[in-house]
Amino acid sequence: MQTPYVIFNGKLISENEAQLAISDLAIVRGYGIFDFFKTVNGLPIFLEDNLDRFYQSAYLMDLPVNYAREAIKTCIDTLIQANNMPDSGIKLLLTGGYSPDGYSIAEPNFIISQQPLKRNVILEEKGLKLLPFTYHRPFSQVKSIDYVMGIQALKVAKSKGADDVVYMQNGFISECPRANFFLISHDGKLLTAAEDVLQGITRKKIIDLAKNIMEVEVRDISISDLENAAEAFISSTTKNITPVTSLLGYQDFAPQAGPITKQLQELLQDLIYKQ
């Protein structure tokens, strides 16, 4: 396969040519933000929503974005044409810049990259197991490059026979390291954690779709809600809606997507893949 192109500070170059100096805060301190969306048949999915979140994350982290929205969209179009990769994931990465003292924010480096992305239909059908993990992600409104705890927690999950973790603290459930978390109550309500989680774009679309067919409650989600739930699933750009078959030690669900989860999967399928 041909080495893909990237956009590095506004210029189209081969991925092999892209280099960051070791003084960048992304390397020295893990300071930076990113956003991620997919293309389906060459079309960016939910691009405007992702750009909104990208600019918001940069603002909250005091990182200037020296590119107008239309300029970024032009760069994305250029990259899509150059790579000829119809089904892909595209990452917008904004670093802390080349810091003179290894601590102060400097002029950010802006990198747009693209990699093939294949949908995992089997996982979306069969689901996954989650391990409850005591943690609450700081800067929850920011899509930060800091995934230290997520990576460490995944090791623990695998050792316990789970596929990933879901964060819990003080009796409340928030989110997964790379996905949002939903419950469906026995009386048919869709429940998901409120503002103190990453505002997932797929999460946003699911909430909008669900409001047309059921009651939706965006609020704190307790252990009691979990123990009384009929179905559970996670959502993300890469996983779409993927059912949760078990939260180890708390609740086991059906070994596949429940009826309401399937209904929401079909609605999301129509929104994303039938454009």
H or E element at residue 154: helix 148-159
Other CB atoms within 10 Å distance of the CB of residue 245 = 21
Name the band, by pLDDT with cuts 50, 70 and 90, for residue 55.
very high
Does residue 92 contact residue 36 with C-beta atoms inside 8 Å? Answer: yes
State the average pLDDT for the chain.
96
- Which amino acid appears at position 261 of this protein? T
Q: Pairing mode, if any, of strands 172-173 and 221-222?
A: antiparallel
Distance from C-alpha of 102 to C-alpha of 45, rounded to nearest angstrom = 36
Nearest Cα residue to 172 out of 222, 123, 106, 207: 222
pLDDT at 1: 62
> What confidence tier does 275 reach under pLDDT thresholds 50, 70, 90?
low
The pLDDT value recorded for residue 206 is 98
pLDDT band at 195 (very low <50, low <70, confident <90, very high): confident
Can you tell me the mean pLDDT for 209-225?
96
Report the C-alpha gap between 139 and 127 in whole angstroms: 29
Mean pLDDT of 9-30: 97
What is residue 180's predicted lDDT score, i.e. its pLDDT? 98
Determine the pLDDT at residue 274. 83
DSSP 98: B
